[in-house]
């Protein structure tokens, strides 16, 4: 799902920086110098790339999905803000991409058809108490939610905690979509009711979408159901007051 612009800019670069699996998907040419690193080295990666750009090299920093959504664009901006003056003179171009929530939503219909939000469940850079408050606010105000980085070996419990919070404020049949590797050959999409959602269905390659109280599942004879959130919110329809699911 790379855009033509992203292909062209990656091909133009003499240096490619990024998380190892993302760079491998580009199939770099022999003349391109690859700088792979771990996914927790964003600032170091940004500074190293900017150092080369200051020297006149053409550098591409690769992200999965969209670089501006929980990805490298913010890290590069942070490095420029806090780095030497030479960083501010670098020509920076941020290339938009197809972020995971859009790919997952497209696979099932239009669950983000009304107001929605995106929340990163990782508590590496913010306390989980903030994440909890944001989930409560979104469920209470009728927004669908896309959950990024839902679970990992070091964070096995956050996704189930998010589901527990959602069950306090949403109907138990609210659709939950698990989209793994969306847009790739090993794509796996599954839709279940909120009452049956659990963290075992996800990993770090999964984006999870929790619908709003208005999100619907439309059954279709001989075809996969459509999941969509209507574009309107009837004026006479208030926000749901749902008791905690058993």
pTM for the predicted model, two decimal places: 0.91
Are 105 and 220 part of one and the same domain? yes
Same domain, 31 and 79: yes
Domain assignment present for 70: yes
Please indicate, yes or no, if residue 246 is contained in any of the structural domains.
no
What is the token pair recorded at 178? 């698990």
One domain for residues 67 and 143: no
**CA proximity to 147, closest of 172, 122, 181:** 122
Mark whether 128 and 223 lie in a shared domain. Answer: yes
Beta-strand relationship, 206-210 and 175-180: antiparallel
Does residue 80 share a domain with residue 105?
no
Q: Which CATH number covers residue 40?
A: 3.40.1010.10
Tell me the CATH number at 152: 3.30.950.10
206 lies in the same domain as 105: yes
End-to-end CA distance of the chain: 40
Chosen domain end from 24, 55, 88:
88
> Could you read off the pLDDT of 113-132 as tens digits, one per residue?
999 999 999 998 999 999 99
pLDDT in tens, 188-219: 999 999 999 999 999 989 999 999 999 999 99
Same domain? 75 vs 111: no
Report CA 134 to chain centroid distance, whole Å.
16
Q: Is 14 contained in some domain?
A: yes
User: What is the number of structural domains in the chain?
Assistant: 2
Alpha helices per DSSP H over 121-226: 128-140, 158-167
**DSSP at 112:** T
Average pLDDT (147-161) is 93
9 plus 62 within the same structural domain? yes
Of 33, 11, 9, 38, nearest to 22 by C-alpha is 38
pLDDT attached to residue 216: 96
Say whether both 108 and 34 belong to one domain: no
Give the separation between CA 204 and CA 208, rounded to whole angstroms: 10
Cα distance between residue 159 and residue 151, in whole Å: 6
Closest CA to 107 of 227, 230, 231: 227
Could you give the CA distance from residue 89 to residue 109 in angstroms, rounded to a whole number?
Answer: 43
52 lies in the same domain as 131: no
The predicted pLDDT at position 106 comes to: 97
Q: E strand or H helix at 5, and its extent? A: helix 4-12
**Whether residue 120 is found in the same domain as residue 191:** yes
Q: Give one word for 153, left, alpha or beta, with left for phi > 0 and alpha for psi -120 to 50.
A: alpha
Residue span of the structural domain in which 135 resides: 100-228
Reply yes or no on whether the pLDDT at 235 is more than 90. no
Confidence at 237, pLDDT banded by 50, 70, 90: low
- Which pLDDT tens digit goes with each residue over 10-56? 999 999 999 988 998 899 999 999 999 887 789 999 999 999 999 99
CB-CB neighbours of 129 under 10 Å = 9
| pLDDT for 77 beyond 80 | yes
Same domain, 193 and 113: yes
Residue 29: CB atoms within 10 Å: 10
- In-domain check, residue 243: no
């Amino acid at each position: 799902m790379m855009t033509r612009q992203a292909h062209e800019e990656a091909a133009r670069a003499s240096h490619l920086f990024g998380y190892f699996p993302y760079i491998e998907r580009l199939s770099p040419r022999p003349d391109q110098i690859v700088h792979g690193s771990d996914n927790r080295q964003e600032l170091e990666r940004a500074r190293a790339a900017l150092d080369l750009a200051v020297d006149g090299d053409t550098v591409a920093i690769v992200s999965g999905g969209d670089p501006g959504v929980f990805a490298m664009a913010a890290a590069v901006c942070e490095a420029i803000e806090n780095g030497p003056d030479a960083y501010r003179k670098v020509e920076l171009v941020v290339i938009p991409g197809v972020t995971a929530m859009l790919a997952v939503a497209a696979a099932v219909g239009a669950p983000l058809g009304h107001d929605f939000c995106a929340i990163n469940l990782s508590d590496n850079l913010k306390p989980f108490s903030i994440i909890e408050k944001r989930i409560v606010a979104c469920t209470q105000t009728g927004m669908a939610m896309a959950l990024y980085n839902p679970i990992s070996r070091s964070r096995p419990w956050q996704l189930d905690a998010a589901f527990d919070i959602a069950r306090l404020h949403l109907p138990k049949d609210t659709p939950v979509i698990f989209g793994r590797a969306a847009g790739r050959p090993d794509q796996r999409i599954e839709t279940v009711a909120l009452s049956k959602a659990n963290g075992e269905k996800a990993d770090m390659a999964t984006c999870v979408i929790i619908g709003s109280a208005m999100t619907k599942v439309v059954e279709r004879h001989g075809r996969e159901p459509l999941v969509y959130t209507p574009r309107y919110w009837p004026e006479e329809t208030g926000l749901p007051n749902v008791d905690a699911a058993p």
